[in-house]
Amino acid sequence: MNILLMGGTSDANKIAKKLKELEKKDLKINIITTTTTNYGSELAKKYSDKAISRQSTQETLKEIIINNDILLLIDATHPFATNISKKAINLSKELNLKYIRYERPQKIFKNAIYVNDFNEASHKAIEIMGDKNKNIMYLAGIKNLKTVSDIIGKDRLIARVLPVSVNEALSILPSKNIIGMQGIFSKELNKNIINDYNCGIIITKDSGDEGGLTEKIEGALEANAIPIIIQRPKINYPLKFNNINDLIEYFNNI
């Protein structure tokens, strides 16, 4: 059975591992995992029979499905990767494939402000901060940094980005406002960084516990900073699981 696992997340690797554990003498599970980066592709190879980096191939998703004789599509992409999820849903209908969505569990923080996008988050941050002598910390990846910087301004915006994104961030913010770090950080470390940079607000997105969201929010609150969270886009998935074991059980039954 050939399965296309749309990955690039830690969730996808956990799903691949559990699927491989189901293999029997009369059931060979071939997992083809797609990722958005070469690094993600290297990680995916541990539990996949084949890993394809969409960054380094010219193949379209449709070609990958047809060329690998895919019977089942599992979409375990990031909660904010809506364009590729919509494409996968449409392709599954066109090619008569079973589509399963896995999305990491969501947690609601009552002391946070939820907004729809980074534009709204930036304007809300300015409205709250006003003339206060406080900075604003951005904890949501390089992709939307320029949007936020253009609204908030370079002087009071502090951005924590992956080390590989520092060069791009330097074209947007002064070096003293950029923190290059990779990992899921503790509540204490987040709190200390927010305090050290004199930030009264953090801007992040609802990437779930796998993205360190709880530690960011709890660290911000202990630092007396207000969390602004970009909520997840809403898509009408045909079939969705928020628990990997439930997904595996469903797969076992079919």
User: What CATH number corresponds to the domain at position 195?
Assistant: 3.40.50
pLDDT of residue 10: 85
* The two three-digit tokens of residue 175, written as one number: 């070096």
Look up residue 209 and give its DSSP letter: G
Entry pTM: 0.85
Task: Kindly state the average pLDDT of the residues 24-28.
Answer: 78
Question: Contact 97/65 with Cβ under 8 angstroms?
Answer: yes
- Give me the pLDDT at residue 131, please: 85
Does the pLDDT at position 39 exceed 80?
A: no
pLDDT at 198 (0 to 100): 98
24 shares its domain with 83:
yes
User: Is the pLDDT confidence value at 215 over 70?
Assistant: yes
Task: Answer yes or no: do 134 and 195 share one domain.
Answer: yes
SS3 of residue 71 by DSSP: coil
Start-end of H helices in the chain: 10-20, 38-44, 61-67, 82-94, 118-129, 145-152, 166-170, 187-196, 213-222, 244-253
Looking at the 3D structure of the chain, how many domains does it have? Answer: 2
**pLDDT tens for residues 145-191?**
999 999 999 999 999 999 999 999 999 999 999 999 998 999 999 99
> Could you report the per-residue pLDDT of 93-110, keeping only the tens digit for each?
999 999 999 999 899 999
What does DSSP assign to residue 57? -
In what order do the strands lie in the sheet containing 226-230?
113-115, 226-230, 199-205, 135-138, 157-161, 178-180
State whether 127 and 225 are in the same domain. Answer: yes
Give the CA dihedral 11, 14, 16, 21, nearest 10 degrees: -160
Span 114-119, average pLDDT: 97
Residues 117 and 222 in one domain: yes
| Residue 44 confidence (pLDDT) above 90 | no
- Domain membership of residue 100 as a residue range: 2-105+234-253
Quick one: what percent of the chain has pLDDT higher than 70?
Answer: 98
Strands 72-75 and 98-102 turn out to be parallel
Do residues 198 and 219 both lie within one domain?
yes
